[in-house]
Chain A
């Protein structure tokens, strides 16, 4: 019943878009909170199958950008085209149904629940049995539970967190919490995965582990990834393309090599003599 997991058998969401084609296109997006302009006239795209990094100094609008992408904020201006369709008036909880999952800068796990339950929650949307079947437990509800448990166990296996399956996540060290959160996002089987500072506050070894997981997710599951990260070494090594924001504006966009040598980027990070 519980056969060994083959990592190459991961289910990849079929969405009819070939690798390298544009998955998400942001056109002239602007977002303001009252008088504070968080994002001003930014356009960039995310192509299927790539790892796209969003970097910039503190307060550059990176997290706001992710919140716009997954529908938590609705921009005042601009178009968001996801899978070739323009998005109009989406509620945050509908993002998952469209195949967008994310992790948070400050770990946002369900602290009172075990690792297993946290990751299982990621599959709530895919579970359909209603209150009636749930009350009976045996029968369809249990069958569905076990079916999804198998998928979750694959993820637990993949992230090497078998030993903390039953531990309430509030008791876990930070690095593991980040990993559980990645697991919960993976459980949603997203086609676009948004990672908000996945390596913040980690030591070198944990960063290496996390980098390996990100690359594996990208390669084995074919998941497109957009990530925000402050560790430039990690960003330049992992990502295929980098977009740089500063004060809510886009100042550079391109491969890591191009971005690294861009004068505006160097100025933004190191400051410039006036």
Chain B
């Protein structure tokens, strides 16, 4: 009833190409934006920002980057963690060499470094596909993490081998470093994620998005439609690694505050890949849903017993948590193998015709 689309006619192609041809979708997004920009900052405490909201947003951004490569262009990658690392280290070097540079500019620039590295490691995709390409990107993962460890110049020859985020101000407000307020960092990350999501939606629904999807669905046919496969694949690697790089920079500068090379190892790559698969390949919304499930749910679950007054030891909570999250992942994959985004799509279809069954 609420989602009835009857009576919403399009009289121009422009209206038909709108982001939300259905009015209710636009209203729903409006509500979500108000919650994210106004309600949450007013209600959340320091812990909620640090443990839930900021990491969910950052992981969403990393998943968005990987989704463009894997979900849209069909190129499997296991090197996401390392590409995030490239973004983080590039941002660190930019900030230490040019301390006066605006943090936003530094992050935007560091994306180009990871994009260049991504394109370089994307070159094998011109010859190999699927699992074989995944192995090739795995090489990037191992090589880059090794480089972060061995190339002392990257971490300014610090004895610990780790990078420490200095205190950084933007327009008189501390945004990064130990003294930064969580709410400032939340707004910073939210702004970046909102803008990048918008740009990614625009790219994926236009000509370039169609080219990527055609390469994913059938590359030989795409070639005979006149699509240059090399350009298509490398542009996907470029855009994807750029977004992943910014996510990496945010990961360290706006959330962790410090990073060691092994932070960017395979577990991080897999984590982002899980978010993409559970959220839904080839969907922008899926990244958000997947990140909420994989990143936020464990945090919420671990505080649930305490909040409900159930006396459970903390190690027990840890084990329960792993079991519950694991079971949920399997449950969602069985119920909807195409991810949470498809779950929502099916629900929306049902809502449109509700209360009738079909």
Contact = CB atoms under 8 A, between A and B. Distances in A.
Interface string B201-237: 0110111101101101110111111111100000100
A131 B213 contact: no
Interface of A: 1-2, 70, 72, 92-97, 101-102, 104, 108-113, 117, 120-122, 124-125, 127, 129, 131, 134-137, 141-142, 144-146, 149-150, 153, 184, 188
B17 A142 contact: yes
A142 B15 CA distance: 11
Interface in B163-216: 199, 202-203, 205-208, 210-211, 213-214, 216
Contact of A93 (B17, B205, B213, B224): B224
Nearest to B207: A127
Nearest to A138: B202
A93 B206 contact: no
Contacts of A1: 11-13
B13 A2 contact: yes
Interface of B: 11-14, 17, 199, 202-203, 205-208, 210-211, 213-214, 216-218, 220-229, 235, 239, 282
A93 B226 contact: yes
Closest 4 CB pairs of A and B: A96-B226, A110-B217, A108-B221, A137-B202
A70 B224 contact: yes
Contacts of B239: 131
A145 B17 contact: yes
A124 B225 contact: yes
A106 to B, nearest CB: 10
Contacts of A124: 207, 210-211, 214, 225-227
Given A131-B203, A131-B235, A134-B208, A110 B226 contact: no
B202 A112 contact: no
A72 B224 contact: yes
Given A137-B202, A145-B206, 13 more contacts: A93-B229, A96-B226, A117-B210, A121-B214, A131-B208, A134-B207, A134-B208, A135-B199, A136-B202, A142-B14, A146-B13, A184-B225, A188-B226
A110 B227 contact: no
B195 to A, nearest CB: 10
B42 to A, nearest CB: 32
Nearest to A149: B13
B10 to A, nearest CB: 10
Given A108-B218, A149-B17, A93 B202 contact: no
Nearest to A104: B221
B250 to A, nearest CB: 19
14 contacts: A2-B12, A92-B224, A93-B226, A93-B227, A111-B218, A120-B207, A121-B211, A121-B225, A121-B227, A124-B214, A129-B207, A135-B199, A142-B17, A149-B13
A127 B221 CA distance: 18
A113 B211 CA distance: 11
A111 B221 CA distance: 11
A146 B226 contact: no
B339 to A, nearest CB: 13
Given A95-B226, A96-B224, A135-B199, A110 B213 contact: yes
B17 A146 contact: yes
A160 to B, nearest CB: 20
